[in-house]
Each structure stands twice: as structure tokens, then as C-alpha cells.
Homo-oligomer: A and B are copies of this chain.
């Protein structure tokens, strides 16, 4: 199967939104009046971002999901994407489910494939995604202010839990493993939440590199610090019955990685609106701390006492 047949069979669909879909040197895009185009690129490499044994349909979903998550973190509405695909062989058995998973998520977000590239090579999936956001209305990393609440969407740490189960460092029940694996392989980008948070959140970020590490970007770019209530943070792990002690549970939540959730900040006066945004987008939102003028991240217990010991090591992220 040649490149053109491959594109025809698995990736070509009627263009709807783009003035020009797949099949010219460039795709043409135009944001609506008053809107800016938000752009993000992510690359997934076999062995690094996914296991060679992963279900191709789930991989198709995840490849686009991790990109949509970046749009969500800017509050942008998805429009279109390009796909660059290097693969060792062009096999229908792989391409059919991969493209099915990809397009199922794309269709759910009305996000159109407008171009790309296919080539032979080690399996490597590069997606660039386009969304639109009102001019000056994007959620940025730089807007957090001392006194803001710190919120996190959805559940966090479960992808790491699945990874550790795959690695054999811990053992989960059948249903526990299935649930954690679902979080790792079929993450839900928080696209709807991101859009309703426009005008409510002061800063937002996708925490796919780990909650503390990515929060550190908000703190640095906003010139502030944060205090996190560990008793609230541990509730972010969906697998409440996972065989983990509190320290491991907290580590998975704070530094697990591969969670396509949003961390965001908003003034306390916006609490009711944040909670309404969560309901409107059918997304759990959890307040886990607050922004402070002093730089760095402080982990505190329910009584406000700072943790000692291992948690100090997280300071280098701040």
C-alpha cells in the first residue's frame, strides 16, 4: 500500500470547516472574526509514550487527546489538526483501528483532519492541533495571583498507577487495573471545562508532565508560589482502594505524569462559578490549595503544618 492509497483509505474525508481539506500543498484555515488561532504540537514515540502492545484504536484516541488537552489548557475550541505519521509498515490491520480511534475523538470535538504527512520509519506520531479563542481571552500560565485558589480537574495519578501495574511493581484487582488502564490509554481532554473557564480562571496548564512540575510553570510565569493541602490532593487519585501507602499515593498524584487534566487558579470570589463550570462540563473540579506571594511550593496537612522529609524534594520543581 503506497502513501496515497493509505491516505485515501484511512485518512481522507470530506472537508467541512477548512476552506481546503487534505489534498493540496497546504490546508487553509481562518479563525472566526475576533478570534485568535491557538496552536500546539505533540509527538508520541513508541516505547516512550506508549507500549508497542497498545491497542491501535486507543493509541489513535490518545494521540489526539494529548494535543486537545493543550487546547483545553488555553480555553480554546478545537478546529482542526494535522497528522504526521512515521511507521515501519503500512498495515490495514493497524491503520483501520488507529484511524477509527483518532476520528472518533476528532468527531466528538468537531476537529477536522486537514493535512499531514506519512512516511516509513520507527512508529512516531506527530500531531499539530488548531483551536480558536477570543483575542486576549486565552487562559495563560502567567495570570495567577496571590490569594487565588488552586484547582485541579478530574482525577490524577491513575495513569502512573496503571504504568506501575504494567511494570509489575504493584498488583491491582481486575477491575482496578482496567479502570487505571483506561485513564492511561484513553485520557479525556478537558476541552469543555477549558472553554467555560474563560473569564473565570486566572491561569491554567495541562499537567501531563506531573502536577507539581507543571504547576511550577504557572508559578514561575506568574511570579508567585503555592500551598497545597496534601489531604485534599490525595483525593485526586480515582483508585481510592489502590494498594498504596499515603506517601506513594501522594507521589502518584503530585508527580505521576501522563494525566491530561488541568491545574488552574481562580480568585475565591469565583468559587461558585468554578463549581458551576465543573457541572456544566460534567467534570469534577477539586480545590487543593492556594496561591501565595512567596515563591516555591509548600505541602501542608489539614492543620496547615508543613510536611518534612520526602516532600522537600519536590522543591526543585518550584
| Residues of chain A at the chain B interface (Cβ within 8 Å) | 19-20, 23-31, 36-43, 45-49, 70-71, 73-74, 76, 80, 82-86, 114-117, 119-122, 124, 126, 128, 130-131, 133, 135, 138, 140-142, 204-206, 217, 221
Known interface pairs A126-B126, A128-B82. Does A117 touch B43 (Cβ–Cβ under 8 Å)?
yes
Known interface pairs A36-B29, A205-B25. Does A43 touch B126 (Cβ–Cβ under 8 Å)?
yes
Residues of B near A47 (CB, < 8 A) are: 121
Using CB atoms, name the residue of chain B closest to A73: B25
Nearest Cβ on chain B to A22's Cβ, whole angstroms: 11
Residues of B near A117 (CB, < 8 A) are: 41-43
What CA separation (Å) do A221 and B124 show in the bound complex? 30
Do B86 and A43 touch (CB < 8 A)? yes
Nearest Cβ on chain B to A262's Cβ, whole angstroms: 9
Do A29 and B20 touch (CB < 8 A)? no
Nearest Cβ on chain B to A125's Cβ, whole angstroms: 9
Q: Which of B25, B48, B83 contacts A40 (CB 8 A)?
A: B25
Using CB atoms, name the residue of chain B closest to A122: B122
Which of A43, A47, A83, A121 gathers most chain B CB within 10 Å? A43
17 A-B pairs with CB atoms under 8 Å apart are: A24-B140, A24-B142, A24-B221, A26-B73, A26-B76, A27-B38, A27-B39, A30-B31, A30-B36, A30-B135, A31-B31, A41-B84, A42-B84, A43-B124, A45-B124, A48-B86, A49-B119
Residues of B near A45 (CB, < 8 A) are: 86, 119-122, 124
Residues of B near A31 (CB, < 8 A) are: 30-31, 37
Q: Which of B23, B135, B204, B221 contacts A141 (CB 8 A)?
A: B23
Nearest Cβ on chain B to A80's Cβ, whole angstroms: 8
Do A48 and B115 touch (CB < 8 A)? no
Residues of B near A120 (CB, < 8 A) are: 45, 48
Nearest Cβ on chain B to A74's Cβ, whole angstroms: 4
Q: Which of B26, B83, B138 contacts A26 (CB 8 A)?
A: B138
Nearest Cβ on chain B to A109's Cβ, whole angstroms: 15
Nearest Cβ on chain B to A257's Cβ, whole angstroms: 12
Residues of B near A80 (CB, < 8 A) are: 39
Do B140 and A20 touch (CB < 8 A)? yes
Q: Which of B24, B41, B71 contacts A128 (CB 8 A)?
A: B41
What CA separation (Å) do A42 and B3 show in the bound complex? 13
Do B48 and A37 touch (CB < 8 A)? no
What CA separation (Å) do A40 and B83 show in the bound complex? 10
